[in-house]
Amino acid sequence: MRGLGTVVNVALVVAGSLAGLAAGARMPQRWRATVLQAIAVVVLLLGVQEFLRTRNAMFPLASVVLGGLLGEAAGIEERVESLGRALHRRVARAAGEQHRFTEGFVTASLTFCVGPLTVLGSIQDGIGAGAQLLFVKSCLDGAVAVVYAATFGVGVLASAATVGVVQGVLTAAGALAGTHLLDARMVAELTATGGVMIAGLGLRMLEIKPVRVASLLPGLVIAPVAVRLFAR
């Protein structure tokens, strides 16, 4: 069922937020760290699994290299970071409970909606390739929501609406592309290319290497185009 991944994601963000609001600051920091590390390991291994779907490793390799060059030329990583800083600066001008609500909403929305799991997971769900990535992302977002809600309060709960809108739009775009533009080979190489980015995200989450994942995102467009041009 297309869209199920987003429904589950929204539900787990809501559940995690409610749990965090109930727990407050009583949750030990080591519990939070252990849960997030466990999910990060799964994300890393999931990226490897997705990469293994390729039928020719040159397609994902070329896609992430060329995509990375385009992403760096466009300054995607810096633009995403600048967006986050700009939003937080605007939030900082507020005060009291409104500030706390808005900061929680902005922080959680950026965390849950910016990254390869959001983009690739939603597209895969839309083209009918399954919602596995969004299910894993849902677990990650739910765990993070517990921590964020305990820190920022009810604003994190409101970010579930952002998740629904952003992923819903991407899923619809994936459904449209899958119907009219992408064949099975294109989907396989797009998935493998996304797997490289997901593995990079896992490395970042584990604080092993700060992979500039956002800059690699153009590779998701390059992969199916390369298959169309060069696959036999």
167's tokens: 């992923």
Backbone angles phi, psi at 154, to 5 degrees: -70, -15
**What b/e readout covers 207-231, taking b as 16+ CB neighbours within 10 angstroms?**
eeeebebbbbbbbbebbbebbeeee
Distance, in Å, from the CA atom of 210 to the CA atom of 201, rounded to the nearest integer, reads 8
Q: Residue 193: its pLDDT value, please?
A: 92
Mean confidence (pLDDT) of the chain: 85
Domain definitions of the chain by residue range: 4-230
Higher pLDDT, 23 or 203: 203
Provide the whole-model pTM: 0.77
How many other β-carbons are positioned within 10 Å of the β-carbon of residue 113?
18
Residues 6-13, mean pLDDT to the nearest whole number:
95
Q: Residue 89: its pLDDT value, please?
A: 66
Q: Residue 95: its pLDDT value, please?
A: 46
Residue 4 pLDDT more than 80? yes
For 55-108, how does the pLDDT look when each residue is reduced to its tens digit (9 = 90+)?
999 999 999 999 999 999 999 888 877 776 676 666 555 545 455 677 778 778
State what percent of residues in the chain have pLDDT above 90: 33
Q: Residue 138: its pLDDT value, please?
A: 94
Q: Residue 97: its pLDDT value, please?
A: 47
For 167-189, how does the pLDDT look when each residue is reduced to its tens digit (9 = 90+)?
999 999 888 877 677 888 888 89
Count of alpha carbons within 13 Å of 188, Cβ hemisphere only? 14
Tell me if 152 sits within 8 A of 217, measured CB to CB.
no
Residues 39-54, mean pLDDT to the nearest whole number:
88
- What string of DSSP letters covers 19-85? HHHHHGGGS-HHHHHHHHHHHHHHHHHHHHHHHTT-S-THHHHHHHHHHHHHHHHHTHHHHHHHHHH
Higher pLDDT, 80 or 52: 52
76's tokens: 């995607």
